[in-house]
């Protein structure tokens, strides 16, 4: 296509590959606009511009790069693609389902699991509608251009409203705050879960950045502590001893470590990975404490979402007529809510793998953990006002996969047996450090073997 309709400059390129910047589909910058229009009978460059502007209208105050909204890899609907249809709607990152067929969009080739670049094909993509690996997304062998006549109806009501009402749905002072990487269009139309009234503190310009960071860190720590408490005391009240056994590496003097309770497993590794702690086990009371905010360099306890929280804070700051440090209540409310929802989702992710992983005495790799983390990002939209008043109202809307947080009570746990309850009291702590000390004091074969056993066990559970 570029050979036929490309710009003069592109036509001059003699090699077999044409750079990505000439093959992009946003502005079609590799093409000669006149010959494109003459041959397609439509000003497709202008059409693109209109479509993109329309889709971004409701969030016009977001100044993100277009890649945030229109990713560089192809997102498509199997049914639409099978008849050769693809639209900016499919490519728009806030849309996760085909607005015509209501089916989940595909982002990776089902055969090779790789993403397909959203570009005009070059030699590496020799045939139309074909992935590099050879998988055909659609097959038009023998069909005529003239038979490409399909009409499509948008059935997704949210998408319809988003396009039709543009920025008219929300008031001129309304601001929508969300994480573009996890938001989905239907969330904007969810009934608001709750409204918070945030009282504005008296404005004090002296609040420095470092002080704000420190305050946010403290705030985040309290928030995490309360989630931790909730999980331990509300969800896992029957598993306190199981948690102890794993967390303190307890076992009987003779024999192996007891089987791991899946609930204890989920809790302990959830906690370890969130706090980025060195070990899953604890050796002293000190381990229970949180790492201190190093002179304001550390923003949040929940490091896994630190970037997202910083991003939300900065977006909020751009969306109000004050500094975020001048409206700590609002900032706190937004960041805490995001943290709470993330942490709970993430705990349920751990629960979902706990049964098998605990039985196999293994931990997931960081790649798997990152995947779990991605799936835990809450779909949440805060609606607040640009004009900060004394009492600021914030609406929170969330999309919940309702089955995402069902607490499965039926996993087998060690503490339910009488034997465990009896043995539990005789169990002692066997940490690698403690064993090393023992070997140092008395390098007997027995001690050495035990030390090796403990090390092997711990290394199986090292993230
Ligand atoms: Zn479709
Ligand atoms: Zn492929
Ligand atoms: Zn248990």
HSE, CB side, 13 Å, CA atoms: give it for residue 311.
14
Query: Is the pLDDT higher at 441 or at 194?
Result: 441
Beta-bridge partner residues of 136? 130
59 CB-near residues (< 8 Å, 6+ apart)? 176
> If you measure from the C-alpha of residue 75 to the centroid of ligand 3, how many angstroms do you get, rounded to a whole number?
42
> If you measure from the C-alpha of residue 154 to the centroid of ligand 1, how many angstroms do you get, rounded to a whole number?
9
> If you measure from the C-alpha of residue 159 to the centroid of ligand 1, how many angstroms do you get, rounded to a whole number?
13
CA dist., res. 352 & res. 268, Å (int) = 14
Average pLDDT, the chain: 87
> If you measure from the C-alpha of residue 285 to the centroid of ligand 3, how many angstroms do you get, rounded to a whole number?
22
CA dist., res. 92 & res. 390, Å (int) = 37
> If you measure from the C-alpha of residue 199 to the centroid of ligand 1, how many angstroms do you get, rounded to a whole number?
46
456 CB-near residues (< 8 Å, 6+ apart)? none
> If you measure from the C-alpha of residue 88 to the centroid of ligand 1, how many angstroms do you get, rounded to a whole number?
12
> If you measure from the C-alpha of residue 345 to the centroid of ligand 1, how many angstroms do you get, rounded to a whole number?
29
Helices (H), 176-305: 209-230, 240-247, 262-275
Q: Domain-by-domain residue ranges, the chain?
A: 2-163, 203-429
Ligand 3 (ion): which residues have CB within 5 A? 239, 242, 261, 263, 413, 415
Percent of the chain with pLDDT over 90: 53
* 3 state DSSP class of 390: coil
- Two tokens at 94? 């806030």
CA dist., res. 116 & res. 135, Å (int) = 11
> If you measure from the C-alpha of residue 91 to the centroid of ligand 1, how many angstroms do you get, rounded to a whole number?
12
CA dist., res. 270 & res. 264, Å (int) = 10
Q: Which ligand neighbours the alpha carbon of 114 most closely? A: 2
Please say if the pLDDT value at position 287 is more than 80: no
pLDDT of residue 192: 77
Q: In this predicted model, what pLDDT tens digit does every residue of 237-270 receive, in sequence order?
A: 999 999 999 999 999 999 999 999 999 999 999 9
274 CB-near residues (< 8 Å, 6+ apart)? 224, 301, 302, 303, 304, 343, 346
> If you measure from the C-alpha of residue 430 to the centroid of ligand 2, how many angstroms do you get, rounded to a whole number?
49
Q: Between 445-460 and 432-441, two packed helices, what is the crossing angle to 10 degrees?
A: 160
> If you measure from the C-alpha of residue 243 to the centroid of ligand 3, how many angstroms do you get, rounded to a whole number?
7
Query: Strands, E, within 68-158: which ranges?
Result: none
Query: Is the pLDDT higher at 16 or at 357?
Result: 357
The pTM (predicted TM-score) of the whole model is 0.87
Ligand 2 (ion): which residues have CB within 5 A? 109, 111-112, 131, 133, 135
369 CB-near residues (< 8 Å, 6+ apart)? 273, 463
CA dist., res. 243 & res. 263, Å (int) = 8
CA dist., res. 162 & res. 18, Å (int) = 36
Q: What is the band of 119 on the pLDDT scale with cuts at 50, 70, 90?
A: confident
Q: Which ligand neighbours the alpha carbon of 133 most closely? A: 2
> If you measure from the C-alpha of residue 76 to the centroid of ligand 2, how many angstroms do you get, rounded to a whole number?
14
Q: In this predicted model, what pLDDT tens digit does every residue of 31-86 receive, in sequence order?
A: 899 988 988 888 999 999 999 999 999 999 998 998 999 999 999 999 999 888 89
CA dist., res. 303 & res. 319, Å (int) = 24
Q: Which ligand neighbours the alpha carbon of 134 most closely? A: 2
CA dihedral (58, 64, 67, 68) positive or negative: negative
pLDDT of residue 421: 86
Angle at 49 between CA 46 and CA 55, to 5 degrees: 140
Q: Which ligand neighbours the alpha carbon of 108 most closely? A: 2
> If you measure from the C-alpha of residue 434 to the centroid of ligand 1, how many angstroms do you get, rounded to a whole number?
61
DSSP 181: T
Q: What is the band of 292 on the pLDDT scale with cuts at 50, 70, 90?
A: low
DSSP 48-85: HHHHHHHHHGGGTT----HHHHS-SB--B-HHHHHTT-
Buried b (16+ CB within 10 A) or exposed e, 10-36: beeeeeeebeeebbbbeebebbbbeeb
> If you measure from the C-alpha of residue 405 to the centroid of ligand 1, how many angstroms do you get, rounded to a whole number?
29
Q: In this predicted model, what pLDDT tens digit does every residue of 223-240 receive, in sequence order?
A: 999 999 999 999 999 999
pLDDT of residue 282: 85
Q: Which ligand neighbours the alpha carbon of 110 most closely? A: 2
């Amino acid at each position: 296509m570029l050979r036929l309709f490309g710009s003069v400059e592109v036509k001059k390129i003699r090699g077999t590959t044409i750079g990505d910047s000439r093959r992009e589909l946003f502005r079609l910058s590799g093409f000669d606009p006149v010959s494109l229009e003459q041959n397609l009978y439509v000003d497709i460059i202008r059409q693109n511009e209109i479509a993109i502007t329309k889709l971004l209208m409701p969030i016009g105050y977001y100044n993100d790069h277009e890649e945030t909204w229109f990713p560089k890899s192809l997102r498509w609907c199997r049914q639409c693609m099978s008849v050769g249809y693809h639209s900016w709607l499919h490519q728009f990152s806030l849309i996760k389902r085909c607005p015509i067929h209501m089916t989940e969009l595909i982002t990776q080739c089902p055969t090779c699991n790789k993403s397909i670049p959203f570009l005009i094909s070059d030699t590496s993509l020799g045939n139309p509608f074909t992935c590099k690996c050879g998988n055909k997304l659609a097959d038009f062998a023998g069909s005529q251009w003239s038979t490409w006549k399909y009409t499509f109806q948008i059935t997704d009501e949210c998408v319809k409203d988003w396009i039709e009402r543009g920025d008219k749905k929300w008031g001129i002072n309304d601001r929508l705050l969300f994480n573009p990487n996890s938001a989905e269009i239907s969330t904007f139309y969810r009934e608001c879960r709750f409204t918070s009234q945030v009282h504005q503190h008296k404005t004090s310009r002296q609040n420095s950045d470092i002080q704000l960071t420190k305050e946010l860190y403290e705030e985040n720590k309290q928030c995490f502590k309360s989630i931790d408490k909730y999980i331990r005391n509300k969800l896992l009240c029957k598993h306190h001893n199981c948690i102890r056994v794993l967390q303190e590496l307890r076992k009987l003097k003779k024999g192996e470590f007891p089987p791991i309770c899946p609930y204890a497993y989920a809790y302990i590794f959830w906690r370890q990975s969130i706090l980025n702690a060195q070990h899953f086990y604890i050796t002293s009371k000190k381990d229970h404490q949180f790492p201190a905010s190093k002179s304001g360099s550390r923003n949040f306890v929940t490091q896994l979402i630190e970037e997202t929280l910083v991003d939300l804070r900065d977006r909020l700051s751009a969306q109000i007529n004050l500094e975020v440090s001048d409206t700590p209540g609002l900032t706190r409310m937004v960041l805490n809510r995001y943290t709470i929802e993330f942490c709970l989702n993430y705990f349920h992710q751990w629960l979902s793998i706990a049964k098998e992983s605990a039985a196999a005495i293994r931990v997931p790799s960081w790649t798997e953990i990152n995947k779990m983390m991605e799936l835990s990002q809450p779909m949440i939209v805060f609606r607040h006002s640009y004009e900060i008043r004394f009492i600021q109202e914030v609406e929170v809307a969330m999309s919940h996969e309702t089955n995402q947080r069902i607490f499965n009570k039926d996993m087998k746990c060690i503490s339910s047996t009488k034997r465990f309850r009896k043995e539990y009291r005789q169990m002692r702590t066997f940490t690698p450090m403690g064993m090393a000390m023992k070997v140092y004091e008395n390098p007997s074969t027995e001690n050495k073997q035990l030390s090796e056993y403990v090390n092997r066990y711990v290394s199986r559970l090292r993230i």
